[in-house]
Every structure is written in C-alpha cells, then in structure tokens.
Amino acid sequence: MASEKAEIDALKKECDGLRTQIEAARKAVNDGSMTGASGGVASVGRVQLKLRKTLKGHLAKIYAMHWATDSKQMVSASQDGKLLVWDTHTGNKLVAVPLKSAWVMSVAFAPSGNLVASGGLDNICTVYNIKAASPKTLRELDAHTGYLSCCRFLSDSEILTASGDTTCCLWDLETGKQKVVFTNHIGDCMSLALSPDMNTFISGACDSLAKLWDVRDGTCKQTFSGHTSDINAIAFFHSGNAIITGSDDCACKMYDLRSDQEVINYQDTSLNAGVTSLALSSSGRLIFAGYDDFNCHIWDSLKGEKVGVLSGHDNRVSCTGVPEDGLGVCTGSWDSFLKLWN
C-alpha cells in the first residue's frame, strides 16, 4: 500500500513536471501575437449581410443543422421530433424524417447526400437512408452511455460521434459496431469537427478543453486549454492548421495546431452570452458565431475584432453553418426558424 502511494506521488510529480515543460515549450515559440502580426492586413470593414430567406416548418426549438456537400440541400433537427431536409434555393422541404426520440441534439448529412444521421438524449446515433421512397432507418448505433451531442460522417460507411459519456467514437456503418473509441476528456463531449484531410478530428468538451485526435489509431495528439467553461462549438480552419472554439465562457478562441497554443481570443465586454455554434466563411477570414443573446456575431478571424451581426431570431441561435461553396450562412434557432443570409 505504502509503496503504491509512493509510486502515485512520484507519478503526480512527473505530471506536474511535464505540464510545466509543455507550458515552457509553448512560451518558447510564442514570439509574437496574431493580432499584432495582422496590423498590416487590410480591414474587412463592416460586414452587413442581408436576410434572404426564413425557413418555416419546425414546430419546436431547432437544435442542429448541417449542409449537404452540394451546398443546396440542408438538414435541420428540432425537438418537435423531426428532421427536415430542405432545398435552400427554393425554400421547399424535400424530406421529413420522423424521429423515434424527439430529444435530438445533433444532425449530420453524409458527403454523398444519401444518408443523414441524428441523435440526442436517447444516447443513440440513428442513420437514415433518405434516398429511399420514404426515409428508412439504416442503423441504430447504440453503445454510448451518455447523450449524443454531435455526429459527422466520413463517408457512407463511417461516422464519428461525440457523447455526454465523455468519449467520441468512430463507427463502421456496415457492421453497426464501434471501430475506435476516443477516451481522454473528463467532461461531456459537446462538439466535433473533422480535419480537411480527414486524418484527424477535434473535439470540444465540458472540461473546457479541445483535443486533437488521430482518426485511425485513437490517440489524443494535442490538448488545448484556455477556456473557463464548456466548449460548445468547434471548427477547423480550412488550411487544417488551426482550430476555432466557442464556449459558455462567452469567448471564441483560435488555437494554432503547429504552435500548440491559443493565438487569438475573440471576446467583447458587451457580449455576456455563451457561444452555442460557429462556422467559418470559405477563406476563413470571417467567423460566424451563434450566441445565447439571440444573435450571430461576425468576427474578423485575423484581427480579433467584431465586424458585424446577424439579428433577427427571437430566441437563442443554436446552430450555424456555411455551405461548401461559401455562398451564404444558415442560422437555426430555438425560435423554430432557420434563416439564410448573404
């Protein structure tokens, strides 16, 4: 017993030493600030986007939305117990998927456009074939012991999930079984995003940490700290070298993966609402962040300044997304509407 306690104490000491070492290594490469370096970059001025369409159809709070890769179709999930697939150019509803459990928290479109997935307080990620005559349940991925907060397809045969059970998971859709389980967070996982090259993904959790993972071997490669509350939203910068996070602490942050540290903090003393969701414009210059204050605020990602706002929702903005062609932004809200802006 005593020798085990001694061993644990020695390991604790090693942990502290390693943490100090990591902080020192980060400081050693911190030779200048991002905002300072952006002094010479031209300002984007005031970004004023117009509301182009309001999509009405859900009967309760919208919790999630995801664009299809064709930049035209989009799927939304509401606690009215439905997924709706929209043609955003016409505003028409294409498919309605009734859910077994109305407590949905996440929805995803497969890159092929053939499948959508959703999940929530049922702890299950259900995958539907929406190309069938009527939406057909393809798989029920049931192994998480906590709510499903986020899901993203890699292809029609693999999907990543993030859960309130503190793990993320890679599933094989052909067998319905878990391929890899990603364990390291000590709080509910709230959000995930795949890297552009699909070899890694990032997760944000209620432990206020963001982690970078290897999709294939399950290892946690890097951990990013700095937030002081739950990270609700996370996205990759399109170059693959940086990530953006949004948190209940009312701030968004950019972390550079190669410098292994926070490089910008997006925060405003007048903004006292948590960040629920975020999306980047196609060049990465603009960050669209949805907040609990019913607005989607627009940040200049390089200069760290607020450059605009999308106002119009009557309740919390719960989800935000920019399609692949970058032609607009979609915001979804607890007011049951989705709005398209550009």
Residues that bind another protein (CB under 8 A): 1, 4-5, 7-8, 11-12, 14-15, 18-19, 21-22, 25-26, 28-34, 37-38, 41, 44, 47, 49, 52-53, 72, 88-91, 184, 219-223, 237-239, 241-242, 256, 258-261, 263, 281-286, 301-302, 322, 325-329, 340, 342
Say which residues have a Cβ less than 8 Å from residue 31's Cβ, sequence separation at least 6: none
CB of 8 to another protein, least distance (A): 5
Ordered strands of the 210-214 beta sheet? 189-194, 200-205, 210-214, 220-224
Instruction: Name which of 173 and 329 has its Cβ closer to another protein.
Output: 329
Instruction: Name which of 245 and 301 has its Cβ closer to another protein.
Output: 301
Listing DSSP states for 232-271 in one string gives EEEEE-TTSSEEEEEETTS-EEEEETTTTEEEEEE--TT-
CB of 74 to another protein, least distance (A): 11
Distance of CA 198 to the CA centre of its chain: 15
Listing DSSP states for 182-241 in one string gives EE--SS-EEEEEE-TTSSEEEEEETTS-EEEEETTT--EEEEE---SS-EEEEEE-TTSS
Distance of CA 4 to the CA centre of its chain: 41
CB of 55 to another protein, least distance (A): 11
CB of 150 to another protein, least distance (A): 23
Instruction: Name which of 38 and 69 has its Cβ closer to another protein.
Output: 38
For CA atoms 69, 117, 144, 204, give the dihedral sign.
positive
CB of 14 to another protein, least distance (A): 5
Q: Which of 55, 56, 53, 98 is nearest to 80 (CA)?
A: 98
Instruction: Name which of 158 and 262 has its Cβ closer to another protein.
Output: 262
Instruction: Name which of 11 and 181 has its Cβ closer to another protein.
Output: 11
* Single-letter residue type at 230: D
Instruction: Name which of 153 and 213 has its Cβ closer to another protein.
Output: 213
Pinpoint the alpha helices (H) of the chain. 2-29, 34-37
CA distance 263 to 33: 7
CB of 309 to another protein, least distance (A): 14
CB of 320 to another protein, least distance (A): 13
Instruction: Name which of 34 and 192 has its Cβ closer to another protein.
Output: 34
